[in-house]
């Protein structure tokens, strides 16, 4: 080698904004919230690895928690390399609509970079909204970046309102993921933070008959365990 | 995180009954998980498929069996060696050679985590087109050329091609359509299924990425897209593909500040390389059947490109561009912007090899019957041991050369002897004639 570097920089890439929407209502108290914290912490490294292997995206992460009201858990976009998860607690009711409003505000054209990859929203909940979900969803879908977002939903346990989650997703071909136990939750969270992340930025090999969310093609989700056997919740 | 196999688990090869013991988890993809395994003290890689993937690809096993029985196109492929099955659970997979750690992915190249010189980079490009030539010549189609399946050794430019389990006989319908950004436009549009001709398009994209660190279709049209979603990608790569350097259509020209690599690298390569890319992404887009640049053309061009390398006094690698010189333009170094000073060159038939301080010739250059053989040097540029200002070309082959000086004196250059790099000396290598130009 001549010892002199070739000119130019890295391959040009675009930002990808990733949002966690975590249900922290009272019904999540105990094992569920601990499992959620554990699942997200366990997904960090795989998520970073996927981002690291991805030359097309700069992944930025934020998080919202919702219980009685919705608030930013991570308000400023954090680069995935620096992403850390502070555990969340459970208490209060389920202001899911409020969470959607909050994320919608940040997806406003004036606050988003001009050129981006589709944002990814991952909602995790065990119940049903106690506030005006439809108003929240409308505010999200009124934003061009909200409409373009890849929306993934994970319902925990028997009380999760899958119909509401289906509405949030907005594409019938993609179903909410139903976690029956802690292991499912870990798998789904990992899937959302790796496979979906990858699909939204540089889709992997296209398998025939892949589900398309309308925004990007989403590979198959992992299969849930048999709900009758080890439903620990 | 692995989920299918456990450390210490034994899988048996279906042909040889060899026992493969699982050691470590190497990684997962969309189709399955790959492990390091051991057999008789030898390390191999073992891929195990996700059961839910196999449901979407029922021909997988048959396809692998075909690939295994036909054998690898060349040793650059980490080709399936044999199928393996687990004892009780209905899992299956295959064994292949293990990739050594010093091979890095094209993603590392794109992110500049490895930074080979031009020579090694071109050698890697050449290795790729030769391997795909061998694959296609065997009647196979690869179907899924992309960043993650190609690895290179940045020190040498040696390459490896992984993920050979989608390879099938050309024309057979398969489960994989390709990877976005690499898929030929007719595949993106859904007009055609993967085949050799679509592989050729992907090869051109890969070469463009490697040489220019940019995608050939991402120019102004990409800049105008706010949200880069499926619809946008379909438009850019499928329905309205326009080459960023299409000489007859500048609607997709690169945008300064966004597509700087393309603007930096494009003028740095000689015209014959640019012409080939122009053809690959104009005619090659419009004429799916007959318009694509084939591997043998890439091979000749890449060899010529490597032979065109010259060093500027500042140390930067530049490329001699005879077409630019014919037009009377002076070439300047891309790094220091000073006019390039050329070393002596060897005109071999109708090609030019620049004779730099470290240039080597191979059988490819001096023996018509041994084209594309680069394994052993047949000549090298050397400096006279007593007079550092005298440069020569040393005969490293086992055949004598006959040289004719400008006064028509004829001499013999025996193996290990050296001929001065003086203008006008003609060298007869046997089947090939050459002349030194200064
Ligand atoms: N022969 C090998 N030696 C070492 N590592 C390997 C080998 N083959 C694959 N790997 C690693 O295993 C992981 C998964 O492999 P691979 O990408 O082939 O899986 P896949 O399911 O085919 O994925 P894809 O979605 O790219 O098709 C990757 O990290 C890859 O680098
Ligand atoms: Zn220079």
Q: Shortest CA distance to B254 belongs to which of B215, B286, B204, B292?
A: B215
Pairing state between β B32-39 and B19-28: antiparallel
**Rounded Cα distance, A209 and B177, in Å:** 10
**Rounded Cα distance, B11 and B159, in Å:** 29
User: How many C-alpha atoms does A12 have within 13 Å on its Cβ side?
Assistant: 23
**Rounded Cα distance, A118 and B142, in Å:** 30
Can you give the residue ranges of every domain in chain B?
A: 10-96, 104-300, 343-437
Mean pLDDT (chain A) is 89
DSSP assignment, residue B145? -
Phi/psi for B110 (5° steps) reads -70, -35
**Rounded Cα distance, B35 and B26, in Å:** 5
A79 close to B (CB below 8 A): no
A43: which chain B residues are within 8 Å (Cβ-Cβ)? none
Higher pLDDT, residue A202 or B41? B41
What spatial distance separates the first Cα and last Cα of chain A, rounded to whole Å? 61
Q: B10-96 architecture in CATH?
A: 2-Layer Sandwich (3.30)
| Displacement of CA B76 from its chain's centroid (Å) | 11
Cβ count near B349 (within 10 Å): 9
Pairing state between β A120-125 and A150-156: parallel
User: Could you say which of A5, A46, A207 has the minimum Cβ distance to residue B175?
Assistant: A207
Quick one: average pLDDT of B311-320? 96
**Rounded Cα distance, A207 and A200, in Å:** 15
State the DSSP string of B202-224.
HHHHHHHHHHHSS-TT-SHHHHT
pLDDT value of position B174: 76
List pLDDT tens digits, range A82-132: 999 999 999 999 999 999 999 999 999 999 999 999 999 999 999 999 999
Token pair, residue B184, equals 């030929």
Quick one: average pLDDT of B259-263? 98
% of chain B beyond a pLDDT of 70: 99
Token pair, residue B244, equals 């960023």
What is the CA(B319)–ligand 2 centre distance, in A?
12
Give the fold, CATH level 3, of B343-437: Tumour Suppressor Smad4 (2.60.200)
**Rounded Cα distance, A150 and A169, in Å:** 8
Residue A217 reports pLDDT greater than 90: no
How sure is the predictor about A208, in pLDDT bands with cuts at 50, 70 and 90?
A: low
List pLDDT tens digits, range B350-408: 899 999 999 999 999 999 999 999 999 999 999 999 998 999 999 999 999 999 999 99
Residue A227 reports pLDDT greater than 50: no
Quick one: average pLDDT of A221-228? 61
List pLDDT tens digits, range B131-142: 999 999 999 999
Residue matched to tokens 């057979």? B172
DSSP assignment, residue B398? S
**Rounded Cα distance, B310 and B436, in Å:** 16
A206 close to B (CB below 8 A): yes
List pLDDT tens digits, range B281-298: 999 999 999 999 999 999
CATH 1.10.510.10 fits B104-300, yes or no: yes
Phi/psi for B294 (5° steps) reads -90, 165
pLDDT value of position A230: 43
In this structure, the residues whose C-beta lies within 6 A of any atom of ligand 1 are A 204-205; B 26-32, 34, 45, 78, 96, 98-99, 148, 162-163
User: How many C-alpha atoms does B303 have within 13 Å on its Cβ side?
Assistant: 19
Apex CA B164: angle with CA B163 and CA B170, to 5°? 140
Residue A221 reports pLDDT greater than 80: no
Cβ count near B66 (within 10 Å): 16
Give the contacts of B224 (CB within 8 A, at least 6 positions apart): none
Nearest residue on chain B to A217, alpha-carbon basis: B230
Residue matched to tokens 């050979």? B164
- Residue closest via CA to ligand 1's atom 19 equals B29
Q: Which of residues 123-162 of B touch A (CB under 8 A)?
A: 144, 146-148, 155
Least confident of A98-107, A132-141, B175-184, B307-316: B175-184
How sure is the predictor about A231, in pLDDT bands with cuts at 50, 70 and 90?
A: very low
Mean pLDDT (chain B) is 95
Asked if B175's CB is within 8 angstroms of A208's CB, the reply is yes
Least confident of A197-206, B85-94, B169-178, B332-341: A197-206
Can you give the residue ranges of every domain in chain A?
A: 22-92+107-225
Most A-contacting residue of B2, B27, B30, B259 (CB-CB within 10 A), to test interface: B30
A212 close to B (CB below 8 A): yes
Nearest residue on chain B to A207, alpha-carbon basis: B176
Nearest residue on chain A to B208, alpha-carbon basis: A11
DSSP assignment, residue B252? G
How sure is the predictor about A233, in pLDDT bands with cuts at 50, 70 and 90?
A: low
Asked if B228's CB is within 8 angstroms of A208's CB, the reply is no
| Torsion angle of C-alpha atoms A108, A109, A115, A116, degrees rounded to 10 | 20
pLDDT value of position A203: 64
Residue matched to tokens 């699982």? B22
Q: Which of residues 264-293 of B touch A (CB under 8 A)?
A: 264-265, 268
Q: What distance in Å separates residue A82's CA from the closest CA in chain B?
A: 18
Most B-contacting residue of A10, A12, A58 (CB-CB within 10 A), to test interface: A12
Task: Kindly report whether the global pTM for this prediction surpasses the value 0.80.
Answer: yes
Residue B90 reports pLDDT greater than 90: no
Q: Shortest CA distance to B61 belongs to which of B44, B45, B46, B83?
A: B83
| Torsion angle of C-alpha atoms B197, B200, B204, B210, degrees rounded to 10 | 150
Residue burial B25-62, b: 16+ Cβ < 10 Å; e: rest: bbebbbbbbbbbbebeeeebbbbbbbeebbebbeebbe
pLDDT value of position A113: 95
Evaluate whether B214 touches A11 at the Cβ level (below 8 Å): yes
Least confident of A42-56, B165-179, B202-216: B165-179
State the DSSP string of chain A.
--SPPPSS-SPP-EEEEEEEEEE-SGGGTTHHHHHHHHHHHHHHHHHHHHHHT-TTEEEEEEEEEEESEEEEEEEEEEEGGG---------S---HHHHHHHHHHHTSTTTS-SSBPPPEEEEEESS--SS-HHHHHHHHHTSHHHHHSEEEEEEESTT--HHHHHHHH--TTSPPEEE-SHHHHHHHHHHIIIIIHHHHHS--SEETT-EE-SSSEEPPPPPPPPTTT----
ipTM here: 0.89
Phi/psi for B11 (5° steps) reads -120, 150
B358 close to A (CB below 8 A): no
List pLDDT tens digits, range A124-164: 999 999 999 999 999 999 999 999 999 999 999 999 999 99
What is the CA(B4)–ligand 1 centre distance, in A?
15
A7 close to B (CB below 8 A): yes
3-state secondary structure of B101: coil
**Rounded Cα distance, B360 and A71, in Å:** 66
Pairing state between β B176-178 and B391-395: unpaired
pLDDT value of position B29: 81
Q: Which of residues 169-188 of A touch B (CB under 8 A)?
A: none
How sure is the predictor about A76, in pLDDT bands with cuts at 50, 70 and 90?
A: very high
Interface size between A and B, measured as CB pairs under 8 A: 138
Asked if B228's CB is within 8 angstroms of A205's CB, the reply is no
**Rounded Cα distance, A152 and A163, in Å:** 13
**Rounded Cα distance, A188 and A196, in Å:** 10
Evaluate whether B196 touches B292 at the Cβ level (below 8 Å): no
A117: which chain B residues are within 8 Å (Cβ-Cβ)? 227-229
CATH 3.40.50.410 fits A22-92+107-225, yes or no: yes
pLDDT value of position B30: 79
State the DSSP string of B163-196.
-GGG-EETT---SEEE-TTTS-HHHHTTSS---H
Residue burial A34-61, b: 16+ Cβ < 10 Å; e: rest: ebbbbbbebbbebbbebbebbbbbbbbb
pLDDT value of position B274: 98
A215: which chain B residues are within 8 Å (Cβ-Cβ)? 229-230
Least confident of A12-16, A222-226, B124-128, B421-425: A222-226
Computed from CA positions of residues B89, B92, B97, B100, in that sequence, does the dihedral angle turn out positive or negative?
Answer: negative
Residue A229 reports pLDDT greater than 50: no
**Rounded Cα distance, B10 and B415, in Å:** 55
């Amino acid at each position: 080698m001549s010892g002199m570097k070739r000119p130019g920089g890295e391959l040009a890439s675009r930002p990808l904004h990733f949002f966690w929407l975590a249900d922290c209502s009272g019904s999540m108290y105990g094992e569920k919230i601990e499992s959620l914290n554990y699942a997200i912490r366990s997904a960090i490294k795989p998520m970073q690895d996927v981002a690291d292997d991805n030359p097309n995206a700069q992944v930025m992460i934020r998080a919202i928690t919702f219980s009685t009201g919705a608030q930013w858990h991570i308000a400023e976009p954090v680069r995935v390399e620096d992403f850390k998860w502070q555990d969340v607690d459970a208490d209060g009711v389920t202001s899911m609509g409020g969470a959607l409003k909050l994320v919608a505000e940040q997806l406003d054209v004036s606050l988003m970079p001009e050129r981006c990859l589709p944002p990814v929203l991952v909602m995790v909940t065990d119940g049903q909204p106690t506030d005006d979900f439809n108003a929240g969803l409308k505010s999200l879908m009124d934003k061009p970046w909200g409409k373009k977002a890849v929306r993934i939903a994970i319902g925990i346990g028997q009380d999760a309102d899958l119909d509401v989650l289906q509405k949030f997703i907005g594409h019938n071909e993609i179903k909410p993921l139903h976690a029956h136990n802690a292991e499912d939750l870990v798998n789904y969270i990992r899937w959302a933070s790796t496979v979906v992340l990858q699909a939204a930025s540089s889709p992997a090999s296209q398998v025939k008959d892949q589900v398309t969310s309308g925004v990007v093609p989403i590979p198959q989700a992992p299969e849930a365990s048999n709900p009758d056997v080890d439903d620990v919740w | 995180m692995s989920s299918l196999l456990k450390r210490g688990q034994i899988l048996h090869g279906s042909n040889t009954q060899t026992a493969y013991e699982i050691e470590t988890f190497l990684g997962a993809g969309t189709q399955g998980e790959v492990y390091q395994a051991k057999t008789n003290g030898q390390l191999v890689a073992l891929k195990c498929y996700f059961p839910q993937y196999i449901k979407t690809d029922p021909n997988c096993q048959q396809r692998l069996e075909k690939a295994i029985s036909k054998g690898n196109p060349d040793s650059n492929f980490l080709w399936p060696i044999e199928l393996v099955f687990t004892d009780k659970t209905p899992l299956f997979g295959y064994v292949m050679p293990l990739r050594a750690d010093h091979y890095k992915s094209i993603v590392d190249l794109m992110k500049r985590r490895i930074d080979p010189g031009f020579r090694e980079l071109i050698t890697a490009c050449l290795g790729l087109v030769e391997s795909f030539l061998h694959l296609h010549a065997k009647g196979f189609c690869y179907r899924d050329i992309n960043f993650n399946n190609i690895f290179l050794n940045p020190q040498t430019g040696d390459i490896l091609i992984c993920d050979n389990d989608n390879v099938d006989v050309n024309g057979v319908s398969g489960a994989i359509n390709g990877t976005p950004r690499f898929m030929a436009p007719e595949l993106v549009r859904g007009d055609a299924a993967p085949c050799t001709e679509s592989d050729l398009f992907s090869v051109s994209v890969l070469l463009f990425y490697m040489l220019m660190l940019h995608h050939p279709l991402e120019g102004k049209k990409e800049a105008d897209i706010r949200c880069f979603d499926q619809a946008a990608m379909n438009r850019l790569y499928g329905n309205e593909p326009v080459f960023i350097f299409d000489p007859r259509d500048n609607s997709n020209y690169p945008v300064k500040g966004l597509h700087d690599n393309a603007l930096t690298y494009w003028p740095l390569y000689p015209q014959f390389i640019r012409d080939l890319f122009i053809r690959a992404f104009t005619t090659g887009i419009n004429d799916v059947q007959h318009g694509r640049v084939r591997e043998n053309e890439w091979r000749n061009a890449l060899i010529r490109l490597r032979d065109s390398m010259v060093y500027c006094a500042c140390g930067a690698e530049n490329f001699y561009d005879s077409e630019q010189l014919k037009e009377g333009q002076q070439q300047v170094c891309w790094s220091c912007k000073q006019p390039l000073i050329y070393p002596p060159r060897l005109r071999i038939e109708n090609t030019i090899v620049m004779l730099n301080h470290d240039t080597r010739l191979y059988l490819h250059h001096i023996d018509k019957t041994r084209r594309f053989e680069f394994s052993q040097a047949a000549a090298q540029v050397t400096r006279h041991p007593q007079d550092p200002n005298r440069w020569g070309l040393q005969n490293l082959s086992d055949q004598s050369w006959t040289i004719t000086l400008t006064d028509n004196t004829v001499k013999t250059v025996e193996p290990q002897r050296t001929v001065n790099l003086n203008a006008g000396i003609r060298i007869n290598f046997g089947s090939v004639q050459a002349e030194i130009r200064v």
